[in-house]
Chain A
Amino acid sequence: MKIEFVSVTKEFAVRGSDRPFTAVSDISLDVAEGEFLTLVGPSGCGKSTLLDLLTGLTLPTRGEIRINGVPVSGPGLDRGIVFQQYALFPWRTAVANVEFGLEAKGVPRRERRERARGYLDLVGLRGFDERYPHELSGGMRQRVAIARSLAYDPDILLMDEPFAALDAQTRESLQEELLRIWNKTGKTIVFITHGIDEAVYLGQRVAVMTPSPGRIRAVVPVSFASREGDLRADPVFGEYRHAIWTLLREEVTSVGQTLTQLGRPLGLPA
């Protein structure tokens, strides 16, 4: 499953103005089959917009998104999505939530239940089948959401800041878990985050996105000699983090410079 963004631009009509708002501009990016790509950028730079396009919920204004060479024209079960706010159906138990996509796929009832149980197992929620979402912690809910997206076996997993609402400890354990699941299932994962650490920790490559309009500024390949021990304390990890931080910041300072030239100094250090 190869994903290609070919000069993708998305504009939104603005009420009370005839000039549209450009959310993302001229994005070109390839994601290889089985790759774990993270997309990092500040809030509002167009990450979710890009993901909606990839989901097929909205269509690009210009350009094209292809999956295995076929242009995306709508949603499909070849892509699974995990949202930050879990989006679990509160009237369904954990196992029934996981079954949701299987129902959409037309899997027979008995097989559905069995498969759903298996995926709850995979995300470490054995024995929580009959719990309702409100009876689960945030981290557990996100595990159910991940199981739900994996259950109907999409080739691509799209994740929009899935761990942003969790506390640091839960987030780290879910990050580890996600890598384990990725290793086990071999899915192609596009993971959106606004956290540099998270992007470096998870991604094989980190696409750095900058705002106004949203563009991909750079794609940084990440590799470590070893992932044993506390990876975040590795000096190489720090170098990656700094490199990406600089890429994200340069854009801000260049905007700052333009504003200074206009006679409106920004409160940024020189």
Chain B
Amino acid sequence: MARPSLSSAGLSASPLDDDHLHSSAVTTITPIPQPVSPATGRRRSLWGVARRAFNASAAIVVLAAVWEILPRVQVVDPTFLPPLSDVLAAWYDLLRGGELVEHVQASLVRSLAGFGLAILTATPLGLLIGWYRPVAEFLNPVLELFRNTAALALLPVFVLILGLGETSKISIILYACAWPILLNTIAGVKGVDPLLIKSARSLGLGPFRLFQKVILPAAVPTIFTGIRLAGAYSILVLVAAEMVGAKAGLGYLINYAQYNFRVPDMYAGIITISVLGLLFNLLLVRLERRFSTWRTT
């Protein structure tokens, strides 16, 4: 809690490091880069900002270029990996035909339903388990076991019991999302600084108020970490769930396009799902940061 922020520590340390390098250059013969003068240093830092912005997008640009060029020069077979421009054209056709919107909508409904239900069930459950320490200790081996069982391994079980419809799809997403939320919530509750609890108890706070005023707010950042992880899972599991017995959804689109040899459509679906996952994650990271400013800085 009292940690100094990393960035400020880094800033104050760097001039010292320069001095150190400089003096060691005098005493030893090892060639060492000249210390930077203030003026060139500032120019360099401006350069640095530009470079970092470039670096962030450069890898993507390179990837896109490679994807475009390799199929065109026949290094890879364009039947299996069409050039990016073809894929983007297919994506645009799907969008204009209204198909894409339909699939994205179907996927989002499933993802958000499973994810939302997971938050609604796993958070209170985690709070309860974390609060009653004996319960947590009793359940721990079972929780460890389930946590380490890949959710998708259980997909056939879900289909077997719940059928091929929406119920089994939403259930498997709910199931996959519930674990990170549950485990993080338990950890968050158990990890509350005992001194804070002691301090609150010394004011005569009862168990309910203690929970509401101390345990819950202290656990919120850890709970949000779980929620962010669950968000990623909801997209990951979705695709697999939609490959079995679905009539719509991005997973269905990808699978169906592959089956019918509409290869550009398949890649269009893949791109859509990764962008969707990326955006969802970005949103949740933002949210997480907002709820844990007091912890991270």
Which residues of A line the B interface, CB within 8 A? Answer: 55-57, 74-77, 79, 81, 83, 85, 87, 89-92, 100-101, 103-104, 132-134, 138, 152
The answer to whether B204 touches A90, judged by C-beta atoms less than 8 angstroms apart, is no
Contacts A87-B195, A87-B198 given: A101-B203 contact, CB under 8 Å?
yes
Cβ of B167 within 8 Å of any chain A Cβ, yes or no, is no
Contact residue among B2, B199, B297 (Cβ-Cβ distance under 8 Å from A87): B199
**Least distance between A105 CB and chain B CB atoms (Å):** 8
Cβ contacts under 8 Å, B200 to chain A: 100
Q: Report the bound CA distance from A81 to B198 in whole Å.
A: 10
> For residue B4, which residue of chain A has the nearest CB?
A134
Contacts A83-B195, A89-B214, A100-B213 given: A77-B294 contact, CB under 8 Å?
no
The answer to whether B203 touches A100, judged by C-beta atoms less than 8 angstroms apart, is yes
Contacts A76-B204, A89-B214, A91-B218 given: A133-B1 contact, CB under 8 Å?
yes
Q: Report the bound CA distance from A177 to B294 in whole Å.
A: 28
The answer to whether A104 touches B204, judged by C-beta atoms less than 8 angstroms apart, is yes
**Least distance between A141 CB and chain B CB atoms (Å):** 8
**Assuming A56-B202, A101-B203, what are 6 further A-B pairs, CB within 8 angstroms?**
A55-B202, A77-B203, A83-B195, A103-B213, A134-B1, A134-B2
Cβ contacts under 8 Å, B295 to chain A: 90-91
**Least distance between A89 CB and chain B CB atoms (Å):** 6
The answer to whether A90 touches B199, judged by C-beta atoms less than 8 angstroms apart, is no
**Least distance between B251 CB and chain A CB atoms (Å):** 40
Cβ of B78 within 8 Å of any chain A Cβ, yes or no, is no
**Least distance between A71 CB and chain B CB atoms (Å):** 16
As a 0/1 sequence over residues 181 to 217 of chain B, the CB contacts with chain A under 8 angstroms (1 = contact) are 0000000000001011011111111000100011001
**Least distance between B273 CB and chain A CB atoms (Å):** 36
* Interface band, chain B: 20 to 34
Cβ contacts under 8 Å, A87 to chain B: 193, 195-196, 198-199
The answer to whether B214 touches A74, judged by C-beta atoms less than 8 angstroms apart, is no
Contacts A75-B203, A75-B204, A104-B209 given: A91-B198 contact, CB under 8 Å?
no
- What 5 pairs between A and B have smallest CB-CB spacing? A87-B199, A75-B204, A104-B203, A91-B294, A87-B195
Cβ contacts under 8 Å, B213 to chain A: 100, 103
**Least distance between B204 CB and chain A CB atoms (Å):** 5
Which residues of B line the A interface, CB within 8 A? Answer: 1-3, 193, 195-196, 198-205, 209, 213-214, 217-218, 220, 293-295, 297
Cβ contacts under 8 Å, B220 to chain A: 91
The answer to whether B203 touches A83, judged by C-beta atoms less than 8 angstroms apart, is no
Contact residue among A76, A81, A134, A152 (Cβ-Cβ distance under 8 Å from B199): A81
Contacts A87-B196, A89-B214 given: A134-B201 contact, CB under 8 Å?
no
Q: Report the bound CA distance from A44 to B143 in whole Å.
A: 39
Q: Report the bound CA distance from A56 to B203 in whole Å.
A: 10
**Least distance between A177 CB and chain B CB atoms (Å):** 21
Q: Report the bound CA distance from A134 to B3 in whole Å.
A: 8
Cβ contacts under 8 Å, B293 to chain A: 132
The answer to whether B294 touches A90, judged by C-beta atoms less than 8 angstroms apart, is yes
How many A-B pairs fall under 8 Å by CB?
A: 59
> For residue A89, which residue of chain B has the nearest CB?
B196
**Least distance between B254 CB and chain A CB atoms (Å):** 43
Cβ contacts under 8 Å, A92 to chain B: 217
**Least distance between A119 CB and chain B CB atoms (Å):** 15
Cβ contacts under 8 Å, A90 to chain B: 1, 218, 294-295
Q: Report the bound CA distance from A104 to B204 in whole Å.
A: 8
The answer to whether A91 touches B199, judged by C-beta atoms less than 8 angstroms apart, is no
Q: Report the bound CA distance from A26 to B171 in whole Å.
A: 63
Contacts A57-B201, A81-B202, A104-B203 given: A132-B195 contact, CB under 8 Å?
no
The answer to whether B297 touches A134, judged by C-beta atoms less than 8 angstroms apart, is yes
> For residue A84, which residue of chain B has the nearest CB?
B195
B198, B218, B293: most-surrounded residue (chain A CB, <10 A): B198
> For residue A132, which residue of chain B has the nearest CB?
B294
> For residue B5, which residue of chain A has the nearest CB?
A134
23 contacts between A and B (CB under 8 A): A57-B202, A75-B202, A75-B203, A76-B204, A77-B204, A79-B202, A83-B195, A87-B193, A87-B199, A89-B214, A89-B217, A90-B218, A90-B294, A91-B217, A91-B218, A91-B220, A100-B200, A100-B213, A104-B209, A132-B293, A134-B2, A134-B3, A138-B2
B1, B209, B220: most-surrounded residue (chain A CB, <10 A): B1
Q: Report the bound CA distance from A132 to B217 in whole Å.
A: 14
Cβ contacts under 8 Å, A74 to chain B: 204
Cβ contacts under 8 Å, B209 to chain A: 104
> For residue B206, which residue of chain A has the nearest CB?
A104
Q: Report the bound CA distance from A152 to B294 in whole Å.
A: 25
Q: Report the bound CA distance from A81 to B202 in whole Å.
A: 7
**Least distance between A80 CB and chain B CB atoms (Å):** 8
**Least distance between B117 CB and chain A CB atoms (Å):** 28
Cβ contacts under 8 Å, B205 to chain A: 104
Contacts A100-B213, A103-B213, A134-B297 given: A85-B195 contact, CB under 8 Å?
yes
Cβ contacts under 8 Å, A101 to chain B: 203
Cβ contacts under 8 Å, B198 to chain A: 57, 83, 87
B201, B202, B204, B217: most-surrounded residue (chain A CB, <10 A): B202
